[in-house]
Amino acid sequence: MTVPVFDSALTRIPRLGFGTWPMKGVECQAAVESAIGLGYRHIDTAEMYGNEEPVGAALNACGVPRSELYLTTKVWWDKPDGASFRRAFDACLKRLGQDYVDLLLVHWPSPQLDLPSVLQAQAAIRDAGLAKAVGVANFPLGLLKRAVEAEIVPIAALQVEHHVYLDQQRLLDYVTPRRIVLTSYTPVAKGVVLEDEVIQGIARKHGATPAQVALAYLLSKPGVAAIPKAQSPARQQENLDAANLRLDAEDQKALAALPKGNRMVSPGFAPDWAA
């Protein structure tokens, strides 16, 4: 299975990746090794997941050259300034046991975020070759625009919740023409799609599964990547095979008609999403 790649001037990211939260320890390492063995080449982790060590160990043990793998990590929002962000990133690299990551994201915007200084830290990390590209996660449109327009470091990626029930059209309208990849987290809506009769109907029609329909919906949008998490090799394979599913106009119409304002991840420290 060859996963399609989004290739901008800033990054070359496999559009179907593997989410690792909330797996930990040996279970996490085994899942990542299994995913890479099946053909995943893009692995998503974060400082906050507490699994950078097993993720890095899996990368080191899997037998696939590092240059063929795409690794994302994220620094947690309690590092709102450049100096603390840099210290946290250095610790990420150490735990990962890697010389570099492919993508380094600000995990969430803090209310105390000193955006220019964090962007400057990301620029220094990128200039040193320790992160090939940088970006942000969970930024609402206004803050994303500020990050891009600051022109301190080029923003390669935006990672946000995005699935059949949350279409993120405002963000897509901004990032797509700028060739900023939008990486979709919670792409199978934490499994809710499995019970959805509309999605089940589309899946039956194609001899596919509801999770595959949900992922194919995301992959049908230009410049969009998705990072489903699945523990078992069978589900990992099922999700990977979604890259082969092509939805037709009738499917797209039915999916477009599903309610689109259902956000599943909005912790107390989340920003004002409309900002």
Helix (H, G, I), strand (E, B) or coil at 99: coil
Give me the residues paired with residue 73 across strands: 104
266 scored as a contact of ligand NAP (CB under 6 A): no
Nearer to ligand NAP, 16 or 130 (CB): 16
- Annotated catalytic residue 49: yes
188 scored as a contact of ligand NAP (CB under 6 A): yes
Q: Please name the residue that has the structure tokens 């590209």.
A: 133
Nearer to ligand NAP, 144 or 188 (CB): 188
34 scored as a contact of ligand NAP (CB under 6 A): no
Q: How far is the CB of 74 from ligand NAP (least distance, A)?
A: 6
**Taking the mean position of all CA atoms in its chain, how far away is CA 118?**
20
Give me the residues paired with residue 261 across strands: 166
Q: How far is the CB of 226 from ligand NAP (least distance, A)?
A: 8
191 scored as a contact of ligand NAP (CB under 6 A): yes
Between CA 155 and CA 122 the distance in angstroms is 10
Q: How many CB atoms lie within 10 A of CB 87?
A: 12
Tokens of 20: 């690792």
Among 33, 35, 44, 136, binds ligand NAP (CB under 6 A): 44
**Taking the mean position of all CA atoms in its chain, how far away is CA 185?**
5
Footprint of ligand NAP (CB under 6 A): 19-21, 44, 107, 137-138, 159, 185-191, 194, 211, 227-232, 235, 238-239, 265
Active-site positions read 49
